[in-house]
């Protein structure tokens, strides 16, 4: 079959040429209404499609894509209960059962800002709103299918990981003056980036932007500038995009990346919060928001983000039982020493989430063991030591009955041992885990964060280095810088007694100079929860008592 000319307007093509394109395409229609599925099936067949399958919901759609590679997918956004169109697209792309070599078209009667921006974030190939006529649908699909068909060789090369071949194809189309040269330029910039040819990528975006200030080129340039570690230039360009239209989610995400690189965690949280407000269904973004909120000791934002991850995870490919445990564990920390009605409501919600996790993963021994372990921490948080002792006994029994506990369950066991003041046992378990996972930086980071002191040698060096840096700022009377350093250190080692007391000492010194700060009060409250285990036998006890008296003087509401 001959391809349509890359220079030809799809509206100028004869229908017989487009029918030939449709004829060998495998199509899938996803809609919860049988009559609409039937109507779209008949419509596609009149366009020339011969293989047309249907699915009534997300589960059927994902199964269908697992069994057969579709070339064209028409998916309604709102599918009733279960996954929506956005979540289907996210899952089939995540599972790599629908690659960029397939055309995914979202069809919807919804027009809410949340829906539109969320759906566009997953990057469907086209987006058609209801009501539509057969003629308008035909026009939109014809344009989309011809464009997709002409770009298919480059897309296939990208899907195969053959970026150099894809780059050659894009260059040939650009040189020949294809009407799809803009698409090829966009791919060309991305391909140079993927090939780590950053100067070449920068040149592509510079040339495009010199002719027209296109947003995709600004975003591509910003990403390239970040890779070149030109963070100021990247930030300036991203701020320009946001000022033009703050609905560009990718710009907010990249701004958060810039701020994280600079350790400006409050700004990183603010940018991530903006992105979640624009498109609230991203589970991964809510998890990022929760981590940033933890770094910034923003308990309310952390709890809300964990809760949102649970909410939107229900029909997502990114669903995880850890979201339930993250929320309940955070509650166990927040409610320490607080018997207010708000704290009681949080505890009730946390227990509800633990029960939901047990039911949702009823046949999973690891999850049920983790639920008992986190429940123990929750009971200790509200001071119910008798009940916590009984639950801990059940949890240990369940843990020991597991043939080979996974890393998540073992980490939870270590957290619970630490919460029960069984510090030696906690460190022994963590040391064994560190030996098994020494090449996994993410696991090692969690291991170092659980007890009062880091386990790994690398963690000890980092903590010592940050302590030295913070003390240097403190000695130089640069209290704001010292606070930032100790906050950065506590993001990695939140239970470290010395670091928490250092932060409190710096805050007291700054308060003596500048007066009371609500932000500082929140930081002190957070650090005191982490130092609650300092007893008269602890080597930091005298310092703890001295700082407690200072806190009482400047922040009486904390104690």
Q: Using DSSP bridges, classify how beta strands 51-55 and 103-108 pair: parallel, antiparallel or unpaired.
A: unpaired
Taking residues 335-339, what's their average pLDDT? 88
pLDDT for 5 equals: 56
pLDDT for 110 equals: 67
pLDDT at 292 over 90: yes
Q: Which helix (H) or strand (E) holds 187?
A: helix 181-194
pLDDT at 481 over 80: yes
pLDDT at 230 over 80: yes
Question: Residue 536 in 3-state DSSP?
Answer: coil
Share of residues in the chain with pLDDT > 90 (%): 83
The per-residue pLDDT of the chain, averaged, comes to: 93
pLDDT for 1 equals: 45
pLDDT for 210 equals: 97
Share of residues in the chain with pLDDT > 70 (%): 95
Cβ–Cβ under 8 Å, residues 180 and 151 = yes
Tens digit of each residue's pLDDT (9 = 90 or more) over 359-398: 999 999 999 999 999 999 999 999 999 999 999 999 999 9
Cβ–Cβ under 8 Å, residues 509 and 466 = no
Q: 120-159 burial string, b = 16+ CB within 10 Å, else e? A: ebbebbbbbeeeeeeeebbebbbbbbbbbbbbbbbbbbbe
Taking residues 329-346, what's their average pLDDT? 93
pLDDT for 2 equals: 52
Identify the weakest region by mean pLDDT among 137-141, 359-363, 438-442, 507-511: 137-141
pLDDT at 12 over 60: no
Confidence of residue 421 (pLDDT cuts 50, 70, 90): very high
CA dihedral in degrees (549, 555, 556, 557; nearest 10)? -140
pTM equals: 0.91
Question: In the 3-class helix/strand/coil scheme, how is 402-460 assigned residue by residue?
Answer: CCCCCHHHHHHHHHHHHHCCCHHHHHHHHHHHHHHCCCCHHHHHHHHHHCCCCCCHHHH
Query: Which domains, ranges and CATH numbers included, belong to the chain?
Result: 10-160 (3.40.50.2300), 163-279 (1.25.40.10), 320-449 (1.25.40), 457-554 (1.25.40.10)
Confidence of residue 238 (pLDDT cuts 50, 70, 90): very high
Question: In the 3-class helix/strand/coil scheme, how is 506-523 assigned residue by residue?
Answer: HHHHHHHHHCCCHHHHHH
What's the CA gap between 147 and 126, in Å, rounded? 11
Q: Which helix (H) or strand (E) holds 486?
A: helix 479-492
Structure tokens at 180: 């799809």
Cβ–Cβ under 8 Å, residues 454 and 474 = no
**Can you name the residues that pair with 53 across neighbouring β-strands?**
28
What's the CA gap between 489 and 450, in Å, rounded? 14
pLDDT for 319 equals: 96
pLDDT for 338 equals: 87
Taking residues 462-479, what's their average pLDDT? 95
* 109-118, 142-151, 214-223, 455-464: which is most confident: 214-223
Tens digit of each residue's pLDDT (9 = 90 or more) over 159-185: 999 999 999 999 999 999 999 999 999
What's the CA gap between 302 and 299, in Å, rounded? 5
Tens digit of each residue's pLDDT (9 = 90 or more) over 29-70: 999 999 999 999 999 999 999 999 999 999 999 999 999 999
């Amino acid at each position: 079959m001959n391809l349509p000319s890359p220079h030809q307007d799809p509206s100028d093509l004869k229908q017989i040429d487009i029918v030939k394109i449709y004829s060998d395409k495998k199509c899938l229609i996803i809609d919860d209404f049988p009559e609409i599925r039937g109507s779209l099936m008949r419509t596609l067949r009149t366009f020339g499609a011969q293989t047309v399958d249907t699915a009534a919901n997300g589960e059927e759609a994902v199964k269908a894509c697992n069994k057969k590679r579709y070339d064209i997918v028409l998916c309604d956004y709102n599918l009733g209960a279960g996954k929506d169109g956005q979540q289907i697209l996210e899952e089939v792309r995540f599972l790599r059962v629908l690659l960029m070599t397939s055309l995914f078209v979202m069809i919807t009667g919804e027009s809410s800002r949340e829906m539109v921006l969320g759906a566009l974030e997953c990057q469907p190939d086209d987006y058609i709103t209801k009501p539509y006529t057969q003629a308008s649908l035909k026009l939109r699909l014809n344009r989309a299918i011809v464009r997709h068909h002409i770009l298919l060789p480059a897309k296939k090369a990208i899907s195969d990981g053959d970026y150099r071949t894809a780059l050659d194809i894009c260059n040939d189309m650009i040189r020949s003056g294809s009407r799809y040269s803009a698409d090829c330029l966009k791919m060309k910039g991305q391909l140079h980036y993927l090939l780590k040819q950053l100067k070449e990528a920068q040149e592509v975006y510079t040339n495009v932007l010199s002719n027209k200030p296109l947003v995709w080129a600004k975003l591509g340039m910003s990403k390239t500038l970040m890779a070149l570690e030109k963070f100021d230039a990247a930030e300036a360009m991203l701020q320009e995009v946001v000022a033009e239209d703050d609905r560009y989610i990718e710009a907010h995400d990249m701004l958060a990346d810039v701020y994280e690189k600079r350790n400006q965690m409050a700004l990183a949280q603010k940018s991530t919060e903006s992105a979640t407000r624009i498109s609230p269904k991203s589970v991964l973004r809510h998890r990022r928001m929760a981590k940033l909120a933890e770094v910034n000791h923003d308990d309310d934002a952390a709890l809300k983000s964990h809760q949102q991850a649970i909410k939107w995870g229900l029909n997502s490919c990114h669903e995880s039982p850890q979201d339930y445990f993250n929320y309940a564990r955070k509650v166990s920390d927040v409610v320490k020493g607080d018997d207010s009605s708000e704290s009681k409501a949080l505890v009730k919600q946390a227990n509800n989430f633990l029960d939901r996790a047990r039911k949702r993963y009823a046949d999973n021994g690891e999850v049920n063991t983790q639920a008992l372990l986190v429940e123990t921490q929750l009971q200790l948080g509200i001071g119910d030591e008798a009940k916590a002792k009984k639950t801990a006994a059940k949890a240990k029994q369940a843990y020991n009955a597991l043939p080979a506990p996974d890393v998540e369950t073992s980490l939870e066991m270590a957290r619970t041992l630490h919460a029960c003041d069984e510090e030696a046992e906690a460190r022994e378990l963590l040391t064994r885990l560190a030996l098994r996972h020494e090449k996994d930086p993410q696991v090692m980071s969690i291991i170092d964060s659980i007890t009062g002191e880091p386990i790994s040698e690398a963690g000890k060096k980092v903590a010592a280095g940050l302590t030295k840096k913070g003390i240097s700022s403190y000695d130089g009377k640069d209290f704001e810088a010292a606070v930032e350093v100790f906050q950065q250190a506590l993001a990695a080692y939140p239970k470290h007694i010395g670091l928490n007391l250092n932060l409190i000492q710096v805050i007291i010194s700054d308060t003596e100079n500048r007066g009371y700060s609500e932000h500082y009060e929140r930081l002190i409250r957070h650090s005191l929860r982490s130092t609650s285990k300092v007893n008269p036998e602890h080597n930091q006890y005298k310092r703890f008592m001295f700082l407690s008296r200072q806190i009482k003087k400047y922040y009486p509401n904390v104690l």
